[in-house]
């Protein structure tokens, strides 16, 4: 990556008319804002359809897109919905927070109306069928899984009747014939998601903005991935996990974090030449230009917690696939731009894996200022090949962090970044400047920090099960003054987009054209 910068801003947080951010006009306007602000990157959170708890890190599929992100305004423009059908639904009352209950009740209702019109009109039939054929390898399992969830009142697949739980071939054939229309409805959602996202993604790239996507290392237990490929996971004879993912006690939680995701059967995946993982990364490259892989440490060692434990205190570290996986990805897909989330307690073997892979790691500036005053996240410890964040989606906002830390840590931060702040807003901007000044190739700043938002705008609080993933930007907050201020700090620290290099051939053609024009003028 060239020296550059970007903004972390989840799609769900984009202001829009119907309760959650989506691929609407406001998303295109955010791209314009990024371009005007001199930004090269837009980082988003995982795109998967969310379930209970609304976390993008606990998705029904690692391959599918979130139907909440489909722009209803675009469907109105396409003649598949009416304005009245959209506005008559309840989308929540607070424009700063997503009401996921309202989304669930209303979004699928209007998407079903759009699908019925799409099917009746036969619109774009060839394009739709081509999409279904291209994505068949994951699409059919996902759509059948979601249709069966509806038939089973949204219960986890582990609670379905035995023939459906175990994917008995005869039972699957019979039920698919009965619920084919519902399966097709879910295909339609994914078709619309990709059609709209491709349009937005292309617009971003044409305006000099590239997308950093985020993929969780693990998948949710109640997902099409585990249901369709149980052999890839550490399941017992009853198709229940023997151990689940988490992390040991740390600064976030005294009892550790019990994520509950099923763990991979890495021996099986190795025997298949990591086919599922290369498919997964390949699918991500349809979404993004670069990928941040969450919990990179888990590829070196993963923390396994007994399935029925209520906390993560009694887990053990087990060996992961290491470089063998990433060598395979490189062999199959070439050089993929990957950012390794290497936060937390990092062992020498994890450092070695990061070095061997060549991927940039992460430095979170909020972690730098602790009582020891010797943190590895202090800027003098930064490397060129890393990505600096003021904070991530799991952190407090920078202003909220400044307000909450101890007097010692706040004074140390003030002295280190040479801040003469008179208020917390000014201190927040000094903090942002410190991130930009780093030697690191890339700096990413959450939009909430540029807006000097407090913890009311925090995206996620790890180990807290409710109230996360809800913050939204109010309309008209992306002002020219803010854009100018971001541009200025980006320019000051040499992070503006670098024009594409002109080749010698192009230079020669330009010189010929200039000479021809000069001769023409002389003759005149």
Rounded to whole angstroms, the Cα distance separating 52 from 131 reads: 28
Task: Identify whether 488 is a catalytic site residue.
Answer: no
Do strands 301-306 and 290-293 pair parallel, antiparallel, or not at all (unpaired)?
unpaired
- 394 catalytic residue (yes or no): yes
- Give, as one character, the DSSP assignment of residue 443: E
8 Å CB contact between 211 and 41: yes
Among 464, 463, 56, 407, smallest CA distance to 250 is for 463
Indicate which residue of 78, 341, 342, 449 is catalytic: 341
Q: What angle do CA 153, 158, 159 make, to 5 degrees?
A: 45
First CA to last CA distance, the chain:
48
Q: What is the CA radius of gyration of the chain?
A: 24
Strand ranges of the sheet holding 316-319, from the earlier edge strand across to the other edge: 257-262, 243-247, 301-306, 316-319
Cα 516 to Cα 502: distance, rounded to the nearest angstrom: 20
> What are the tokens at 518?
């000069």
Unique residue bearing structure tokens 């063998």: 324
Tokens of 60: 């029904």
341 catalytic? Reply is yes
Interhelix angle 275-287/180-206, nearest 10 degrees:
60
**Cα–Cα–Cα angle for 104, 107, 111, rounded to 5 degrees:** 135
Judge contact between 132 and 191, C-beta under 8 A: yes
Which residues, in sequence order, are CB contacts of 243 under 8 Å at separation 6+? 234, 263, 304, 305, 306, 307, 315
- Measured CA to CA, the distance from residue 18 to residue 81 in angstroms comes to 14
CA–CA dist 320, 298 (Å, integer) = 6
Q: Which residue in the list 184, 286, 309, 394 is annotated as catalytic?
A: 394
Per annotation, catalytic residue among 214, 294, 434, 449 = 294
Mind telling me the catalytic residues?
A: 294, 341, 394
């Amino acid at each position: 990556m060239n020296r550059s910068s970007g903004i972390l801003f989840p799609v769900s947080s984009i202001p829009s008319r119907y309760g959650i951010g989506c691929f609407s006009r406001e998303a295109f306007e955010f791209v314009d804002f990024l371009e005007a602000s001199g930004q090269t990157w837009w980082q988003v959170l995982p795109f998967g359809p969310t379930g209970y708890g609304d976390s993008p890190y606990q998705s029904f599929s690692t391959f599918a897109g979130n139907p909440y992100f489909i722009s209803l305004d675009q469907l109105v423009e396409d003649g598949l919905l009416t304005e009245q059908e959209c506005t008559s639904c309840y989308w929540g009352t607070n424009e700063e927070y997503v009401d996921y209950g309202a989304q669930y009740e209303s979004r699928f209702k209007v998407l079903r109306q759009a699908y019925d019109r799409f099917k009746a009109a036969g619109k774009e039939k060839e394009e739709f069928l081509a999409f279904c054929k291209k994505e068949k390898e994951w699409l059919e399992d996902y759509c059948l899984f979601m249709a069966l969830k509806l038939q089973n009142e949204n219960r986890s697949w582990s609670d379905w009747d035995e023939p459906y739980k175990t994917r008995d071939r005869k039972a699957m054939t019979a039920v698919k014939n009965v619920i084919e229309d519902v399966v097709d409805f879910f295909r339609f959602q994914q078709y619309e998601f990709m059609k709209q996202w491709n349009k937005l993604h292309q617009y971003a790239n044409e305006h000099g903005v590239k997308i950093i996507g985020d993929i969780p290392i693990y998948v949710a237990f109640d997902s099409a991935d585990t249901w369709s490929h149980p052999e890839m996971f550490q399941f017992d004879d009853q198709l229940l996990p023997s151990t689940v993912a988490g992390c040991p006690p740390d600064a976030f939680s005294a009892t550790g974090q019990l994520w509950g995701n099923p763990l991979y059967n890495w021996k099986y995946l190795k025997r298949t030449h990591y086919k599922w993982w290369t498919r997964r990364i390949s699918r991500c490259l349809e979404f993004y230009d670069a990928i941040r892989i969450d919990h990179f440490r888990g590829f070196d060692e993963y923390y396994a917690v007994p399935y029925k434990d209520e906390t993560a205190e009694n887990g053990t570290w087990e060996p992961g696939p290491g470089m063998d996986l990433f060598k395979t990805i490189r062999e199959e897909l070439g050089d993929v731009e990957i950012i390794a989330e290497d936060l937390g307690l990092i062992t020498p073997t994890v450092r070695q894996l990061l070095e061997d892979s060549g991927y940039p790691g992460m430095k979170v500036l909020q972690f730098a200022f602790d009582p020891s005053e010797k943190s590895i996240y202090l800027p003098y410890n930064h490397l060129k090949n890393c990505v600096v964040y003021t904070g991530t989606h799991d952190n407090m906002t920078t202003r909220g962090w400044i307000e909450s830390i101890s007097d010692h840590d706040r004074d140390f931060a003030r002295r280190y970044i040479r801040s003469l702040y008179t208020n917390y807003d000014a201190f927040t901007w000094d903090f942002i400047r410190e991130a930009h000044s780093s030697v690191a190739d890339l700096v990413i700043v959450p939009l909430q920090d540029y807006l000097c938002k407090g913890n009311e705008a925090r995206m996620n609080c790890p180990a807290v099960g409710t109230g996360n993933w809800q913050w939204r930007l109010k309309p008209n907050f992306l002002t020219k003054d803010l854009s100018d201020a971001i541009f200025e700090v980006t320019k000051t620290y040499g992070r503006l987009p670098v024009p594409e290099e002109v080749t010698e051939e192009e230079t020669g053609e330009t010189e010929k054209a200039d000479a021809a024009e000069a001769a023409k003028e002389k003759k005149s």
